[in-house]
A and B are shown apart, each in its own frame.
Chain A
Amino acid sequence: MLLTLTRTFQQAIKSFLRYQWLSIATSSVLMLSLYLIGILVLLSFSTTTVLKNIQDKANISVYFKPDVTEPAIMGIKSDLEKDSSIKSVDYVSKEQALEDFKKNNADEPIIIDSLKEIGENPLLASLVIRARDPNEYQRVYDNISQADFSSEASRINYGKNKEVINKLNTLVNSVKKVGAILEILLVFISALIIFNAVRLSIYARRQEIEIMRLVGASNWFIRLPYIFEGIIYGAAATIASMIFLFLTVKSVSPYVSAVAPAADIVGFYLQNFGKLFGLQFLLGAAIGVASSWVAMRKYLRV
């Protein structure tokens, strides 16, 4: 069995090398489809990171009227904290709010000056509420606006990020959809092309196969080279795709970091190298072997 394996594997390598251009062309198409899968994985990683980032910043701010006392607000706070869909409730006092405001507008002397002009602290104390699940915000918001304390609130802020999140979500989803359709198409095309390559390889070796049959070669001996050929296409395509993927990640990374500093795609690539490689190789080999198998069923009479 081991002898059969090594002999047929050698045969597959020989045939892969003998028809270099055919092999390169075939592997390239498979590579393209594996590459696209890699891109899709990376894209989904970076967009989830970006989305998470934005979602973390999302919150509902309840600003209280100036006459509401701090203990009263703390009471509301502890009430809110009982809600299981709320992750956190932070109290921002008037003084804290002023401090933050000053910090955020330190570069704008006019605003700072006008603050001094007013003389007193015009800002309101507030509770900053974060929901556990980003999709819960609407419900939490509705709850708060109908709550008893809503009469004590001067205004309730929500929705700053809502549109951004939704837009990004639709964008990512449509990119994924288009990617998936493209992917299916590419997988199909690569399967066809491997099928054709194996068919040619069977045709080129038809005399050898005839002789093998006549001298009593075991069926596996005749079949295995083509199965190995499929696997070799998968392996070659995976290696090439991983290299191209790395180059892509390297060159795109600065732009991604500019948009989302948290999304380190180079790091993600390196950390998940094994998984990415394995995924691509499995898929590539599966496509290779499957189309080899179909070609054999059709053209190899064993």
Chain B
Amino acid sequence: MIRFDTVSKIYKGNFPALENINLEIKEGEFVSIIGPSGAGKSTFLKLIYAEEMPTEGEVYFEDMPTSGINRKKLPFYRRNIGTIFQDFKLLPRKTAFENVAFALEVASVPLAEIQEDVPQILEIVGLGDKMEKYPYQLSIGEQQRVSLARALIHRPKVIVADEPTGNLDPTSSWEIVKLLLKINKLGTTIILASHDKYVVDKINKRVIVIENGKITGDYEQGKYKLV
């Protein structure tokens, strides 16, 4: 479903972030990307959701190279991919409901549909009773669940999670990962970047190790271990 074909990414000023990456992620997989900070994990994810373009090689999403996506098509491409981040990226002036609804509003979805879909999704992430709460009224873990609900609202084929548990305590972390596992079970591909050893070990699924911009390990049912 996602394929990296000899991909290198060199940022402006000759900073190599990724070098010669070859990789395939199949539909329905749950992949953990691990590696030290600055190893290139975020760049790897950005290449998937087409925030960055490879300097060399191609990233294919369902056999379509991301370099072929023009600015007009990019928004539609993005609706295939849900993203969550360490800092949640919630809008502080909007309630949980409005934050999730926002993703639909900006895609010109009619109001009736918004009012039907958003509560459903919030129910799935366990926030059915906290829809009208503002982010500051929610715990950190709940905030991350709102952002996960927003990522899910377009029913994406892939969820890209960049250190989603980075700010969370172990219990909340596990709550989020459990949700990701559940979503994965329903068929959505999950790509999780993390350096949370506890979390990755417990997931017990494919692990890809990135160090210094290179893949140094790719294990089915792997554990968090850096070479």
Contact = CB atoms under 8 A, between A and B. Distances in A.
Interface of A: 1, 3-4, 7, 207-208, 210-219, 221-222, 302
Contact of B108 (A4, A207, A210, A222): A4
A208 B91 contact: yes
A218 B106 contact: yes
Contacts of B79: 215-216
Interface stretch (B32-40, B70-78, B122-130, B204-212): B70-78
Given A211-B102, A302-B71, A217 B107 contact: yes
Given A3-B108, A3-B110, A4-B108, A214 B89 contact: yes
A7 B105 contact: yes
Contacts of A219: 71-72, 74-75
Interface in B82-101: 83, 89, 91
A214 B108 contact: no
A215 B150 contact: yes
Contact of B106 (A207, A210, A217): A217
A216 B154 contact: yes
B83 A214 contact: yes
A218 B72 CA distance: 8
B138 interface: no
Contact of B89 (A1, A7, A211, A218): A211
Nearest to A211: B89
17 contacts: A1-B108, A7-B108, A211-B89, A212-B102, A213-B75, A214-B83, A215-B106, A216-B75, A216-B77, A216-B78, A216-B107, A217-B107, A218-B107, A218-B108, A219-B75, A221-B106, A222-B106
Nearest to B156: A216
Contacts of A207: 89, 91
B25 interface: no
Of listed B76, B83, B108, residue having the most chain A CB within 10 A: B108
Instruction: State the 9 A-B residue pairs at the shortest beta-carbon distance, nearest first.
Output: A217-B106, A216-B78, A215-B103, A216-B79, A216-B75, A221-B106, A3-B108, A4-B108, A218-B75
Given A207-B91, A219-B75, A212 B106 contact: yes
**Chain B binding surface, main DSSP class:** loop
Nearest to A4: B108
A215 B154 contact: yes
Contacts of B89: 207, 210-211, 214
Nearest to B77: A216
Contacts of A212: 102, 106
Nearest to A302: B71
Nearest to A213: B78
Nearest to B80: A216
B78 A214 contact: yes
- Of the listed residues B75, B103, B150, B154, the one surrounded by the most CB atoms of chain A closer than 10 A to its CB is B75
Interface in B132-173: 150-151, 153-154
Contacts of B83: 214
Contacts of A215: 78-79, 102-103, 106-107, 150-151, 153-154
A302 B102 CA distance: 18
A1 B74 CA distance: 18
Interface string B105-118: 11111100000000
Contacts of B151: 215
A217 B108 CA distance: 8
Contacts of B107: 215-218, 221
Contact of B76 (A3, A213, A216): A216
A15 to B, nearest CB: 12
A7 B103 CA distance: 13
A1 B107 CA distance: 10
A7 B109 CA distance: 11
A211 B108 contact: no
A1 B108 CA distance: 7
